Amino acid sequence: MKELIIRLFPNSMLQAIQDLLYRRKQLFSSPLITKYPGDDASVLQCCIAYNKYGGYCLPWSSVHRPAAQTILSGEVWEPKTIEIITKNCGTGDIIHAGTYFGDFLPAISRACSSHAKVWAFEPHPENYRCSVITININRLDNVEIANAGLGFQEGSMSMLITDRIGRALGGGSKLIKSDSQSQGQSVRVKVLRIDDVISSDRNISIIQLDVEGFEQQALAGAMETIRRCKPMLILESLPDEDWLSANLFTLGYKVKGKVHINSVLSVA
């Protein structure tokens, strides 16, 4: 039969048929990443991507952002930050804010000891929904996530979620003092104090904050926990020198170095 087909069809036609069959196989064996075509705002626009740590739900609105692009390519975002967290968490809990779509969660969750937890905080509504899905994809039962930002007092604040031309800020969304539309679109979000969330029977080994310049306010709401546990601090933005001297250096904290753009402080 094979010889008959070869005699009946020229090589060029056989090659075209083989190419067509190959493309058909690829079409049905590869995932199709499609976008919801409707206008129902309640539908979460997202896609799923994977790297060596697990699966992630990425918001479509910010797939152009560097962290999302890294995960979409199958790589790890801020691998050295993840490494320092996983190597130093010991038997204690990890506080992780902002979570974005959960790009750190699979790695740091699985590094925790059997009774430890990850306390995650993400105020952006869409990013929070994606983080919850990331948690479910990976069955991260030790992650407690709150749809809230962190500050020195409980309340609510405006969060800037797009730039001036409407592009989503993704993980760069930040808490702001006013709803100035000239800066971009903003939403109202909940703000919590770490000391109100973390009970006195929990041992915190690491506080990692990537909260777009709001680190000082978040730490101010965590001072009881910091005094009690003396956790390692991994901060994208350092508080001002006077605040550090008055609140952290007096406890024995020192700036130990940098990992990616983050400063690492500890008492050890």
The residue-averaged pLDDT of 35-50 equals 87
Indicate whether 191 pLDDT > 60. yes
CB atoms within 10 A of CB 81: 22
User: In terms of residues, how long is the chain?
Assistant: 268
CB–CB of 46/60 below 8 Å? yes
pLDDT tens readout for residues 149-183: 999 999 988 888 888 888 888 788 888 877 655 57
pTM for this prediction: 0.84
User: Taken in order 76, 78, 228, 212, is the CA torsion positive or negative?
Assistant: negative
Q: Dig out the tokens for 140 from the structure.
A: 């991260």
The b/e string for 103-121 (b: 16+ C-beta within 10 A; e otherwise) is bbbbbbbebbeeebbbbbb
Q: Is 127 or 29 the better-scoring residue by pLDDT? A: 127
Query: Which ranges in 30-167 belong to alpha helices (H)?
Result: 66-72, 79-88, 105-111, 125-138
Residue with tokens 């087909």: 5
Yes or no: say if 118 and 105 are a contact pair by the CB < 8 Å rule: yes
Q: Which domains does the chain have, with CATH numbers?
A: 46-266 (3.40.50.150)
Determine the Cα–Cα distance for residues 193 and 152; give it in Å rounded to an integer.
6
